[in-house]
Amino acid sequence: MSSTRISVIAAASATALATLTAPAAAQAPAPASASAQAPQVGAKKVHRGHGKCINWSWGDGNVSTTIYFNNHCKQARWLKVWRTGQYWPKCIKVNGKTKGRKKLWDSKPTKIRELSKCVQQRG
């Protein structure tokens, strides 16, 4: 093997070895942190709330919305849900010591409140 060819192979090996052993920060600029990046298009916002006994959350949906809840108290409580474009709020009964979900075939609740009693209004 000629000395020129050996020196070319040695130089290529040294370059490859340097690339593999160099720290990742030195190889390429680090991307901006996730908090500094712009939000993704179509990302859904999660809303959270709590009352005396119940914690709840929901995400913005186009056709339906699922409300997740967790009742920490022994007695049953109610969630009153006001919705966009609806005249009457929806009442959801949550039994004591219960964790679950309720799907509403309406989009985008505007607010949720915990009540000890709720009367479902009809329009």
Tell me the pLDDT tens digit for each residue of 56-114. 999 887 888 999 999 999 999 999 999 887 778 899 999 999 999 999 887 788 899 99
Q: What is the pLDDT of residue 35?
A: 46
Domain ranges of the chain: 46-115
Let me know if 69 is exposed, middle or buried by CB neighbors in 10 A (0-12, 13-18, 19+): buried
109-115 and 99-104 beta bridge pairing: unpaired
Could you tell me the pTM of the whole model? Answer: 0.61
The architecture that CATH gives domain 46-115 is: Sandwich (2.60)
Q: Judge whether 19 and 27 are in contact, CB under 8 Å.
A: yes
Amino acid at 50: H
Residues in the chain: 123
Q: Smallest Cα–Cα separation from 102: which of 65, 70, 77?
A: 65
